[in-house]
Chain A
Amino acid sequence: MRRRIAPGAVVWLLVGAAYFLIPLVATFLFSLKKNETGTCCTLSNYGEILTDPQFRKTIRTSFVLALETIGVSLALLVPTVYWVNLKLRRLRPVIGFLALVPFVVPPIVLVVGLLDFYRGSPAWFYAEPYGFLAAAYVILAFPYIYFSLDAGFRAIDIHTLTEASQSLGAGWWTTITRVILPNIKTAVVAGALLTLAIVMGEYTIASLASFDTFPIYIQYVNQNKAYPAAAVTLLSFGITWAAMVAIALGGRRRAAAMAGGGH
């Protein structure tokens, strides 16, 4: 039986769509206003942001930070989650518990502890975004990457894959990189993209630990130039958007592949 969409559903879906879209459309219209007169329409606000050396510098810092966070997180977590699922099943609840700790210790609390604990540590760590800040971001990303990886590992038979790989003479390194990783690719990519979105937008720790990242630049523009601020806000939204849509597409392809494999 094919049913028509319920009128109540239409109302609530419209409310949801309006709440989501109105601020974005308004920000877009705002970004087209001329700086001098506040009237429509110009693209110069986008030009002003894109040619600002500070924009290029901070977005580069944030992007490199994101890559570093993703690399360190995966290097720490892929072997650990693999190992815990294969040999150390007793530790599963321990990691599961640790993955909940960042929700009890949010960035605003974590930064208080980190600043105090590492005060006086060497400048190459404490004063460098790629030291102190990257370490903090690995912790922020940890629950997201862990839950993504854990779901990925549970969907495959790691015991059989490992035994097959080792009986063919592969060592641990080959097994992880050539056998396990290709099988959990979707989970790895989803975790990495989520981490990219988190790092590109993280303000709390960067600001309170005095680092100059992309979100700090956005806040600076917000306070000084209203119309270019709308342009940079949309750019930042575009980054989150691209990461999330890529995750959704990857997940769908995987679902389609699994459905196809089942028939």
Chain B
Amino acid sequence: MAWLGAAPFFLFTLLFLLLPAGVVLVGAFRDAEGGWTLDNLTTLLDEPYRTAFRNSIEVSLVTALLGGLLGLLIAYSAIRAGTPRFLRSTFTTFSGVAANFAGIPLAFAFIATLGTIGVVTEFMTETLGWNPYDHGFSLFSKTGIEIVYLYFQIPLMLLVISPAIDGLRQEWRDAAANLGATPAQFWRHVGVPVLMPSLLGAMILLFGNSFAAYATAYGLTTGFVSLAPIWIGFLLSGDVLSDPHVGQALALGMLVVLAVMMLLYIPLQRRASRWAK
């Protein structure tokens, strides 16, 4: 009877997570009359959905790579010997805030900063005489979305990668130095190979984080830039007329991409934890 204690929780996840996810899986293969079909899924290969998925993957790749690189450099700078301890805890706390500050308010913060009448835009125009909007820049574009996403991607990277950087023990560095290795050789033969699984795992997490984001992109562009989640939003809110099963097919497409990410992430995570303290 011991399992009864855990029953309410499992029932709840069944009702509000697993069954709704199952509805998406099954609904994507249904037609309007209730029969089985592959048409919804093949629709994803046509416009506008093909571009939406391409854009989503592109934005996620760019922000995972850039956010991962910048997050790593900032995390390492905050942790490495010589940096005062208080700076590290300050950056960790600020990252906790920034990684969770997403969605509509984040979008508006950037509109107030880099929008057409944003504070930084006005400063550049008035003081530097260079209005970025006269030179092809727009916040309400794919580039704009990438800039805004980096605001939560960089701190997320910092939070995820810091334990791995902590795992690079000082003894290894001392041992390498005693054997005559230069810092570059240490990084090439010890540091980077040890960090690599954590780095790849963290970047996959960043990719998924960006791929699944809806509110930030919607708040920034109200759907002006074609992304997969944006189209799901259009289909659900009835802004475009379409078969509801196409929305489920789009949702299934996203689910498949994220499931592949998770399948890559779990073994990397296991490898990375080998060096954890």
A64 within 8 A of B: no
Which A residue's beta carbon lies closest to that of B254?
A: A109
Contacting pair A76 B5 (CB below 8 A): no
Contacting pair B20 A237 (CB below 8 A): no
Q: Mark B30-45, 1 if CB is under 8 A from A, else 0.
A: 0000000000000000
Which interface residue of A11, A107, A230, A240 has the most chain B CB atoms within 10 A? A240
User: How far is B78's CA from A8's CA once the two chains are assembled, in angstroms?
Assistant: 11
Contacting pair B254 A80 (CB below 8 A): no
Count, chain B residues at interface, CB 8 A: 83
A247 within 8 A of B: yes
Interface residues of A toward B: which range?
35 or more
With A215-B103, A248-B96 in contact, is A104–B214 under 8 Å at CB? no
Q: Give chain B residues whose Cβ lies under 8 Å from the Cβ of A102.
A: 17
**Interface of chain B, main secondary structure:** helix
Contacting pair B215 A203 (CB below 8 A): yes
Determine how close the nearest CB of chain B comes to the CB of A38; give it in whole angstroms. 7
Contacting pair A112 B154 (CB below 8 A): no
Q: Name B residues whose Cβ lies closer than 8 Å to a Cβ of A.
A: 2-3, 5-6, 8-9, 12-13, 15-24, 27, 70, 73-74, 76-78, 80-84, 87, 89, 91-94, 96-98, 100-105, 107-113, 117-120, 150-151, 154-155, 158, 208, 212, 214-215, 218-219, 222, 229, 232-233, 236-237, 244, 247-248, 251, 254-255, 258-259, 262, 266
Q: Which of A26-34, A47-55, A152-160, A178-186 contacts B (4 or more CB under 8 A)?
A: A26-34
Q: Which of B9, B15, B74, B104 is A12 in contact with, Cβ under 8 Å?
A: B74
Determine how close the nearest CB of chain B comes to the CB of A72; give it in whole angstroms. 8
Q: Which of B5, B94, B97, B254 is A106 in contact with, Cβ under 8 Å?
A: B254
A59 within 8 A of B: no
Contacting pair B83 A9 (CB below 8 A): yes
Q: Which of B2, B81, B87 is A87 in contact with, Cβ under 8 Å?
A: B2
A6 within 8 A of B: yes
Contacting pair B93 A237 (CB below 8 A): no
Which A residue's beta carbon lies closest to that of B15?
A: A135
Q: Give chain A residues whose Cβ lies under 8 Å from the Cβ of B108.
A: 27, 218, 222, 229-230, 233
Determine how close the nearest CB of chain B comes to the CB of A103; give it in whole angstroms. 6
Having A16-B154, A25-B119, A83-B6, one finds 12 other A-B pairs with CB under 8 Å, namely A6-B77, A6-B82, A8-B77, A20-B98, A20-B151, A23-B151, A88-B5, A109-B24, A109-B254, A113-B248, A207-B218, A215-B105
Which interface residue of A22, A104, A111, A203 has the most chain B CB atoms within 10 A? A104
Q: Give chain B residues whose Cβ lies under 8 Å from the Cβ of A215.
A: 103-105, 215
Interfacial residues of chain A within 225-256, with CB under 8 A of chain B in the complex? 226, 229-230, 232-233, 236-237, 240-241, 243-245, 247-248, 252
A161 within 8 A of B: no
Which B residue's beta carbon lies closest to that of A218?
A: B104
